[in-house]
Amino acid sequence: MLRITGGTWRGRHLKAPKGDKTRPTSDMVRQAIFNLLGQTLDGGVVVDVCCGSGAMGLEALSRGADHAILVDRARVAVDTARDNALLRAAQDRVTLLCAEASRALASLPPGHAALALVDPPYALQERHGLLEALVHAVAVDGTVVFE
């Protein structure tokens, strides 16, 4: 069972997409990432790329991000992320994009995101294009966590 590990929504449960096409980031890994980043975020926009359930982006919102952009090319993942945002009453702080990651990131204004959380499928072939798109979308002093 997925849950938010810190911040204002700590302990609240999240849905995972049905099927075996996604592998949600475990609670322990999310907690470790935010231990490294800092327990709270100082506002800003976070982009959760290949978001699956949206857990990483919602975790960032729970810990102080102003807005989360949740990106996935799978409709079932985007629908699950939408449901999770609604459960957390965060729909006004979430933008959902059902698109290929590089294309979605390229559509953002340059330097728009303070933090990008990326957990692509193991079989992703376009890693170079994804990295170029991240350089475009993330602020110069921003942070990228690439699982």
Give 1's pLDDT tier (boundaries 50, 70, 90). Answer: confident
Burial class of residue 141 (count of CB atoms within 10 Å of its CB; 0-12, 13-18, 19+):
exposed
pLDDT of residue 129: 80
pLDDT of residue 112: 96
Instruction: Please name the residues in contact with 146: beta carbons below 8 A apart, sequence gap of 6 or more.
Output: 118
Is a pLDDT exceeding 80 seen at residue 39?
no
Give 125's pLDDT tier (boundaries 50, 70, 90). Answer: low
pTM recorded for the entire structure: 0.92
- Report the phi/psi class of residue 54: left, alpha or beta, with left for phi > 0 and alpha for psi in -120 to 50: left
> For the CA atoms of 9, 35, 146, 144, what is the dihedral angle to 10 degrees?
90
Distance of alpha carbon 39 from alpha carbon 55, whole angstroms: 16
Mean pLDDT on 127-133: 82
Distance of alpha carbon 34 from alpha carbon 41, whole angstroms: 9
Contact 137, 47 (CB under 8 A): yes
Please, what is the Cα angle at 35 between 34 and 36, to 5 degrees? 85
Beta-strand relationship, 138-146 and 113-118: parallel
Contact 116, 138 (CB under 8 A): yes
Q: Which two tokens stand for residue 47?
A: 């982009």
Which residues sit opposite 143 in a β-bridge? 115
